[in-house]
Amino acid sequence: MDNVAVVVDDLDAAIAFFTDLGLALGGRSSIEGPWADDTVGLHGLRSEIAMMRTPDGHSQVELTKYHAPAALSGEPENPPPNTLGLHRIMFTVDDIDDTIARLRVHGAELLGTVAQYETFYRLCYLRGPAGIIVALAEQIG
C-alpha cells in the first residue's frame, strides 16, 4: 500500500496534527489540470495535498484540501466507529498518554477511554481532522 487519503478543510491544521502524532511532512503540492480531472473524475479539480510519512518510512497519509470543486460534508457528522466504510487509521505509538496530550492541543477528543488489552496493548480511539477516527496502540507486553 502506498497511502491512505484524508480530505480535510484546514490543511495546515491537519499537517500540525499528524506531525505531533509522529509523522513527517514528505512534500506538499498543488494538484490541477486535465490529468487530475481524468484521474479523480471531477471537472475543474484544484486541490493541495501534503504527504505525511510514517516514522518507519513504509506508509503515508495523504492530506487533501479541495479548493474546487468544494469538498462535501458526509452525513452524519462524526460517524460512530461502527459506521460502514473507511473511517479509522491506527498508529503504533511509544507513549499513548503523551501522544493524546499532544493531539488534544489540535482539538482531538477521546471517544472512550484508554483501555488495556490483556498484557499486550493500551488502546484508544480519538476524533482527528475532518472527523476521522485515529486509533492509537501502545505495546506494553
Domains of the chain: 3-68 (3.10.180.10), 88-139 (3.10.180.10)
CA dihedral 11, 16, 88, 126 (to 10 degrees): -130
pLDDT at residue 71, rounded to an integer: 85
pLDDT at residue 122, rounded to an integer: 96
State phi, psi for 64 to the nearest 5 degrees: -125, 125
pLDDT higher than 90, residue 79: no
Question: What are the tens digits of pLDDT across the range 86-140?
Answer: 778 999 999 999 999 999 999 999 999 999 999 999 999 999 998 889 999 999 9
Residue 44 in 3-state DSSP? coil
pLDDT higher than 70, residue 74: no
pLDDT higher than 80, residue 1: no
pLDDT higher than 70, residue 75: no
Report the candidate in 123, 132, 130 with the shortest Cα–Cα distance to residue 81: 132
**Chain mean pLDDT for the chain:** 92
Instruction: Give Cα separations from 80 to 5, 18, 117, 139 (angstroms).
Output: 19, 21, 21, 25
